Structure 1
């Protein structure tokens, strides 16, 4: 869903752009006016975008956070914990029917609230701190890499998959391919 970064756009710009796109999707889900089929489609779309966004952060944002910020390991671990919680909720949503399962709305509302809090923390605290200590050229290169990985990233949650960037780099293309095949087979 994201477009490629413009000349001069850095990793923070790319991630904030993702946040805005995901927030727009949340806004479509909130009123609850969509029919059940549309509600499922919107939920699947937001989950796919959240998964791709998370992969980009885990591969490129958190390693630089660990290296560049004081207490970077602690910050990255907190962020990864948020991702793990969200991934479990996304996996639950995948198996809930908005028409028949009363937990669907509860899990969706929880996911949206926690994701919004995560975005706020990043935008207000983490991103400005990162821009203050990381060279602009490095952040632009990370933007380019993040956009590339989002093109091949999975579209579904895989909570059991390892989170380490080294292992994930090997798994991301394979999981992404499998997810895209599953997505194609699922379309009407």
Structure 2
């Protein structure tokens, strides 16, 4: 899918891609390697997306929206639950009976998070933010996704400034591991 535009368009495009990954996982043979490859690609997308939101979107939510601290904290807590599920999924083979259960839990968490972001958070941001600020945030999110980790790291900080300092280094290590193992191709 094409990426670009303001932060809301960028993240909404990511959300659509995530929906498509879940559909493809569901259609894949239950114990096949294709299912694991799709789960790895989904994990990469979700981790990169989450890191970018935590570095740039949620600080903007805190800054621009009344009650933004509580909203951002809730979204970050959602990410924490998703990251734990991704970490569990990472250790499972597609023929493990728990694999399908974790996928269902993950999809439920992710789809609820997406729905809230798209119906509440994005709509509120669009009403209070200048379009140029949303464009700038879109650029920052795209840059952050390029440098972000590709594997779940539930123990790492999820809020700036620590996340902004650690994510590029962790991301570099993850991308090197992915290159060596062929993960995500």
1:51 aligns with 2:47: yes
Q: 1:98 aligns with which of 81, 84, 94?
A: 94
- Is residue 153 of structure 2 the alignment partner of residue 158 of structure 1? yes
Q: For the aligned residues, what is the CA RMSD?
A: 1.4
- Cα drift, residue 105 of structure 1: 0.8
Could you tell me which runs of 5 or more consecutive residues in structure 1 were left unpaired when the two chains were aligned. none
Distance 1:3 1:179, change over 3 A: farther
Partners of 1:64 and 1:150 lie apart in 2 by 17
**Aligned residues between the structures:** 183
- Give the Cα separation in 2 of the matches to 1:49 and 1:96: 18
Partner of 2:56: 60
> So what's the TM-score if we normalise by structure 1?
0.93
Further displaced range: 138-147 or 24-33: 24-33
The residue aligned with 1:11 is 7
Q: Distance in 1 between matches of 2:113 and 2:47?
A: 14
Q: TM-score, normalised by structure 2?
A: 0.95
Deviations 1:135-168 (A, max 9, x none): 1111100000100111111110000001121111
> What is the CA–CA distance in structure 1 between the aligned matches of 2:161 and 2:2, rounded to whole Å?
26
User: What stretches of structure 2 of length at least 5 have no aligned partner?
Assistant: none
Query: Equivalents in 1 of 2:136, 2:30: separation in Å?
Result: 40
